[in-house]
Amino acid sequence: MEIERTVKLRSGYEIPVLAIGTWQTPNEIASRVVQDAIEVGYRHIDTASAYKNEEGVGQGIKKANIDRSKLFVTTKVPAEVKTYEETKKVIDESLEKLDLEYIDLVLIHAPKPWAVMFLPITKNYDKANLEVWKAMIEAKEAGKIRSIGVSNFKIKDIENLINNSTEVPEVNQIQIHIGKVNTELINYCKEKNIVVEAYSPMGTGRLIKNKKIKEIADKYNVSVPQLCIKYTLDLDTVSLPKTTHKEYMILNKEVDFEIKKEDKETLDNMKFLL
């Protein structure tokens, strides 16, 4: 079953290929969401300092009353944090808020602060990212973190870390969904033994009402979200669907079906969704 499948990171730890995402999940309901997710079978919980729900996520883990070793918890250093000292501080804060002895995976949330992420600016953040990376490596060596990686990084951003440090990122979490597949970046990561994670597999909900996708989903007697999640899994990525509803959590993990070659080709060619 896909919900039970894992892949091995370079650190040797196993990461479940299906996670419950918690973006835009308010802190006051995060505990219930995480408990529900664990109850129905999810073992990978994805959060971030920027989501402002780490306390709720941590409470949910505790209330779920499950052996910590059976869970894989991911959080992220905010995109705005670009110094060594700030990174050390935010990692310790995440550990405190999650109330965990260690975090399974910590990512740099983005190579640039969000305020300038999509602007045509000339400022270079390569040195700043190396400072963040240095602090993350030290936290890993100290046992606070088990694995480290990045999010929203392009090839040049990853090359900066590889060429100027002792560690290669173990994960790159990027937006991937039907109509938005950066094949070049995915293939690059695979060559470097970097596990790719697909966030927003439903295109932040924009794919739900697509008639062509619905038509293909109906062929398999599955929902559009199920088809979207399976599509990302078939790209050999870790899929991060997000929902706060228990009934959808259950549906989203029922993805043990095969997408036929001709349907996959149709989905691959939906470039208009980029």
Blockwise average pLDDT, block size 10, the chain, 274 residues: 97 98 97 98 98 98 96 98 98 98 98 84 89 98 98 98 97 97 97 98 92 97 98 98 97 98 96 56
Q: What's the pLDDT at 67?
A: 97
The number of distinct structural domains making up the chain is 1
- pLDDT at position 272 is 56
Report the CATH number that the domain containing residue 246 is assigned in CATH. Answer: 3.20.20.100
pLDDT at 120: 74
Beta strands in 97-237 (DSSP E): 103-108, 145-151, 171-175, 195-199
Task: Determine contact, residues 148/99, Cβ cutoff 8 Å.
Answer: no
Q: What is the pLDDT of residue 274?
A: 44
Own/partner contacts of 263-268, CB < 8 Å, gap of 24 or more, are 263/216, 263/219, 264/231, 264/234, 266/212, 266/216, 267/178, 267/213, 267/216, 267/231, 268/181
pLDDT of residue 122: 66
pTM of the model: 0.96
Pairwise CA distance, residues 114 & 119, whole Å = 9
Q: Residues 51, 125, 199, 231: which is the catalytic one?
A: 51
Assess contact for 106 and 139: CB atoms under 8 A: yes
Q: Alpha-carbon distance 255 to 229, whole Å?
A: 7
- Show Cβ contacts of residue 24 under 8 Å, excluding neighbours closer than 6 positions: 51, 242
Q: Tell me which residue range forms the domain holding 162.
A: 2-273
Q: Is-catalytic flag, 13? A: no
